[in-house]
Chains A and B, each alone.
Chain A
Amino acid sequence: MDYILSVVTLAAINMIAVLGLSIFTGFTGLFSFGHAAFVGVGAYASAILTYYYYVPFFVALVAGAFAAAAVSLIIGVPTLRAKLRSDYFAIAILGFGEAFRVILENLEITNGARGLPGIDSFTTLPIVLVALAFSVWITRNFLKSRYGVACIAIREDPVAAEMSGVGLFRTRLLSLVLSAFLCGLSGGLMAHFLSFIQPVMFTLVQSTQLLAAVIAGGMGSITGPLFASFLFIVLPEALRVANMWRLVAYGLMLVLIMIYRPQGIMGYQELPDLFRRKISRSGTK
C-alpha cells in the first residue's frame, strides 16, 4: 500500500512539471530540452532552505518555485530576444541545462555531485494533489487570458501574431517564466518526498522524459500531457519494468509519435471534449 501511494505521489509531482512544460511547448510552441534544470532549481532552493535554515516547508516551496522562475530569465532573456530558430533555441536551452548541472556539482552548499541527503520528507499525497489542482487552475486561467491566447497565436503563426501587435519576446518570456515556476514547484515537492536529491536527477534525460509526456499527451492540451505523464510513471511500475526498458520505450515512442501522430493522444483537445462528442453523436440518432 505504501509503495502504491509512493508511486501515485511521484506521478502527481511529475504531472505538475509536465504541466509547466506544456505551457511553454504545447501552447507557445517552443521546444525545450532543458526544463529539468528548472525542476532542479526548485528542488535545491527549497531543500537548502529547509535543510540548512529550517525555513517552514510552504515558504520554502514557494521560494523554490520563484527561484526557478528567476533562473529562467537568465536563459530566457538573451535567447528569446535573439529570436533564435526553434532548433537553435532547443540546443541553447540544452546547453543551459548541462551547464546548470555542472554548477550544481561544484557548489559547496549543494553538497556537489554527491547529492543532498536527509531532507525532511514534508511532502504528502494530499499536499501534492492540492498543488496539482492549483497548477491546473493557474494554467487554465492563464490560457484563457489574453496572454494565453497570445501564446497560442504565436505557436500557430509567429509572423501573423507579431503583425497583430502581439509582443513576441514578452509573451514568450512570460510563458517561459510561468512554466519554470511550475517546474520549480514540482522540484520542491520532489525533494521533500524523496528526501534526497542529486544533480544527476536533473539532466537531459529527465528533460527528454518531460518533453515526451507533452508530445505524447498532445500539444495544445492540458489533460493530454497530464494523462500521458501519469501513465509514464504508473505503467512501468505496475508492469515492474526495469528503468532502462522504460527509456527504450520512451525513445521508440517519440519516434513513432512524430511519424504517425505528431499531435499526440489528445492533440489540441481536452479529455472532456472527447466525451462531449460521443454524447452528441449518439444524440443525433
Chain B
Amino acid sequence: MAADVVRIGHTVSLTGGASMWGQSEARAIDMLVKKINDAGGVLGKKIEVVRYDNRNDAVEAVNVAKRLVSDGVVAVIGPAQSGNSIASAPVLEKASVPMVVTTATNPYVTMDQRSGKVRPFAFRPCFIDPFQGTVAARFAITDLNAKTGAILYDVGSDYGQWLAKYFEEAFVAKGGKIVAKEAFRSEELDYRAQLGKMKGLNPDVIFIPTSQKEAAMAAKQARDLGINAVLLGTDNWGSPDLIDLGGSAIDGGYFVNLADLADPDIKDFVAEYKAAFNEDPVLPNPVMAQDALLMIVDSIKRANSVEGEKIAKAMETIKDLKVTSGPLTISAADHNPFNKPAVIQKVDVKNKTFQFVKKYVSVE
C-alpha cells in the first residue's frame, strides 16, 4: 500500500440493469480525478480510484465493500442504489470507512433501521425519498389536478416500498384519495392483474416508483387495458432506454428526477462531459458521483488526514461546499443534504427526450 496515493473506492454497477448510469458515473469520476490530480491532488498526494463492479446485486455489493476495505481505501463513492447501499453500510462502518452514496434515496441508507440512529460513516449528496415522494404527490395534486391516485410498486425494493409510502402520505395529506395500492414481485413483468383492478376504480394518476423497464411494461399494459390515467414516476425512470422500452405508451408520463440536462447549474459539467465522451451524461448519477468525490476531497483537506473517523467528522460539517450540482450543506444530524432540488420531467417520445417541467427546492 503506497503512502503517496490516496485510494478512493468506487462501488458501481458497470453491468446489469443499471449499467448505463454506472458507466456514466465512472467516466465522470475519472474526468474529475484527473483534474484534481493535475492541480496537485489532495494533501499533496494523487488520488487513485479503486473501482469494482457490484453488478446491481446486493450480495456482490457486500463482496465489493469487503474488497475495498481490504484494498485500503480511505473512503468509498457509491453505491447508487438504496438496496445495495443498505447492504454495504454495515461492512464499511465496521471498518470505519466513510461511504458517500451517489443517488440512493432511501432514508435508511444513512440511518440504521434497528436502532433508529444515524450511521456514523454514511453520507449522501442527494435528496431522500420522503422528499421525492412528497414532490411527486404535490405535483400530482396541484399541477395535474388529480383527485384520486393508485400506486403500483415492487414489493422487493427498498426504494419502491418507501416511495409508495411517502407518496401516499403526502397525497392524502393534500386531500387526495388513494384508490388502489398494488404490488408485484421483483423481476415480474406482467402487471395486468394489478392494473385490471385499478381500471375499474378510475384513478386520475398512477404512481409507479420502479425501474425504467418495469415502468415501460406497466405503461404498455395500462394502455392496452384502456387505462387513461396519467403515469407518474420517480428518478429510476430517467434512463435513456425508457423510451425504447416503453414506446408510445410512456409518452406524456411525468417523473421526479435529481437533475435535468437543461438545468443551468450543471451547464459546464454537461458541456465538459460531452466534449470528452461525445455523448450526454446519463443523469443524474454522474453529477452526484462528482458531488460525492468533492465531498470526500473537501473533508480530507479540512481534516488534514486520511483517517476514516476524522474524514467522517469533517464531512458532518460541510457547509455551502461548491459541488457539481450547486452549493451543498450536510446536516450533522442525519448526514443528508439540506435543500437539494428536485425536478419534474415529462417524457417526450417524439423527440426522444425528457422535457424539463418544474423545479422544487423544498417542500414545506
Contact = CB atoms under 8 A, between A and B. Distances in A.
Interface of A: 2-3, 6, 51, 102, 105-106, 112-115, 117-118, 121, 194-196, 198, 200-201, 243
A44 to B, nearest CB: 15
Contacts of A198: 58-59
Contacts of A201: 59
Nearest to B60: A243
A214 to B, nearest CB: 23
A201 B69 CA distance: 23
Contacts of A102: 185
Contacts of B58: 115, 117, 196, 198
B70 A117 contact: no
Contacts of A243: 55, 60
A81 to B, nearest CB: 31
Q: Is the contact region of chain A dominated by helix, strand, or loop, or is it mixed?
A: helix
B66 A3 contact: yes
A117 B55 contact: no
Interface in B131-160: 155-158
B86 A105 contact: no
Lowest 10 A-B CB distances belong to which pairs? A113-B156, A2-B70, A118-B90, A196-B87, A114-B158, A3-B70, A117-B87, A196-B62, A113-B186, A117-B86
A78 to B, nearest CB: 25
Given A105-B185, A196-B87, 20 more contacts: A2-B66, A2-B69, A112-B156, A113-B155, A113-B156, A114-B83, A114-B86, A114-B157, A115-B83, A118-B89, A118-B112, A118-B114, A121-B94, A194-B59, A195-B91, A196-B58, A196-B59, A196-B90, A198-B58, A243-B60
Contacts of B89: 117-118
Contacts of A105: 155-156, 185-186
A97 B191 CA distance: 24
Contacts of A114: 83, 86, 156-158, 161
| A106, A195, A201, most chain B CB atoms within 10 A | A195
B106 to A, nearest CB: 10
A6 B87 contact: no
A3 B72 CA distance: 12
B150 to A, nearest CB: 21
Contacts of A117: 58, 86-87, 89-90
Contacts of B66: 2-3, 6
Contacts of B86: 114, 117
Interface of B is mostly: helix
Given A194-B59, A196-B58, A106 B155 contact: yes
B67 interface: yes
A33 B58 CA distance: 24
24 contacts: A2-B70, A3-B66, A51-B114, A102-B185, A106-B155, A112-B155, A112-B156, A113-B155, A113-B157, A113-B185, A114-B86, A114-B156, A114-B161, A117-B58, A118-B89, A118-B90, A118-B113, A118-B114, A194-B62, A195-B91, A196-B59, A196-B62, A198-B59, A200-B59
A205 to B, nearest CB: 12
A106 B155 CA distance: 8
Nearest to A3: B70
Contacts of B87: 115, 117, 196
A195 B62 contact: yes
A194 B87 CA distance: 10
Contacts of B83: 114-115
Contacts of A121: 94
Contacts of A196: 58-59, 62, 87, 90
Contacts of B112: 118
A167 to B, nearest CB: 40
Contacts of B69: 2
A201 B63 CA distance: 13
Nearest to B85: A117
Interface in B89-126: 89-91, 94, 112-114
Contacts of A200: 59
A195 B67 CA distance: 15
